[in-house]
Amino acid sequence: MPICPIMKASLGKSSEFAGLHQYEFQKVLAERKIPVHYDVNDLEDDLIVLNE
């Protein structure tokens, strides 16, 4: 399942791209309060907040 539906990147590929072990990548996501299953609705909500 993709971690980001826009990029269709899995958690493994996303962590590899970031240059982190999957555990470290998940820790960074948690610290930044980014859910692993971030969907299009989450993105749209975030864009609304950013544009306010």
Q: Is residue 36 part of a domain?
A: yes
pLDDT, position 20: 93
pLDDT, position 7: 56
pLDDT, position 15: 86
For the CA atoms of 24, 26, 28, 31, the dihedral, rounded to the nearest 10 degrees, stands at -130
Q: Is residue 43 part of a domain?
A: yes
Rounded Cα gap, residues 43 and 20, in angstroms: 23
Q: How many domains does the chain contain in total?
A: 1
Q: Is residue 26 part of a domain?
A: yes
What global pTM score does this model have? Answer: 0.57
Q: Is residue 27 part of a domain?
A: yes
Residues of the chain with pLDDT under 70: 1-8, 38
Q: Which residues contact 6 (CB under 8 A, 6 or more apart)?
A: 40, 43
Q: Is residue 5 part of a domain?
A: no
Structural domain of 26: 11-50
Q: Is residue 1 part of a domain?
A: no
